[in-house]
Amino acid sequence: MSFKKYKLTTISTFEEDLIKITDYIAYQLNNPPAALELAEDIYQAINDRLYNPLSFEPYVPKGSKVKYYRIRVKNYIVFYVVIVDEMELRRIVYNKRDINPFL
């Protein structure tokens, strides 16, 4: 059985979130190897999900009609939406935060 690979796109908020997270780990926590490992793990999880982005339970924030999907990577959650044949990365948030203000 083969799965169709979805096209990957990102919006600037996802990129900004990832830069802030990795900069914090690398420079504030003084652990560049951990920042690099986290970024690699995130992109690996995203690439793995490109073949079946709709096979997971959607998350609809309170008061929204947008269906988000989640990828959990270590202490972070990647949020994406699926638009036709495109998987669009929207945000990445620390899993202990209230996520609704971010979506």
Q: What is the pLDDT of residues 40-58, one digit of tens each?
A: 999 999 999 999 999 888 9
Q: Answer whether residue 50 is part of any domain.
A: yes
In a domain, 102, yes or no: no
Domain count, the chain: 1
Evaluate whether residue 26 is within a structural domain: yes
For residue 38, name the pLDDT band (cuts at 50, 70, 90): very high
Q: Is residue 38 part of a domain?
A: yes
Long-range CB contacts (within 8 A, 24+) of 50-58:
50/5, 50/6, 50/8, 50/87, 51/3, 51/4, 51/5, 51/6, 52/3, 53/6, 53/80, 53/82, 53/87, 54/82
Q: Is residue 100 part of a domain?
A: no
What pTM, to 2 d.p., does this model score? 0.88
Averaged over 54-82, what is the pLDDT?
92
Q: Is residue 73 part of a domain?
A: yes
Is the pLDDT at 11 greater than 70, yes or no?
yes
Q: What is the CATH number of the domain that holds 60?
A: 3.30.2310.20
Domain membership of residue 87 (yes or no) is yes
The domain of 67 spans 7-93
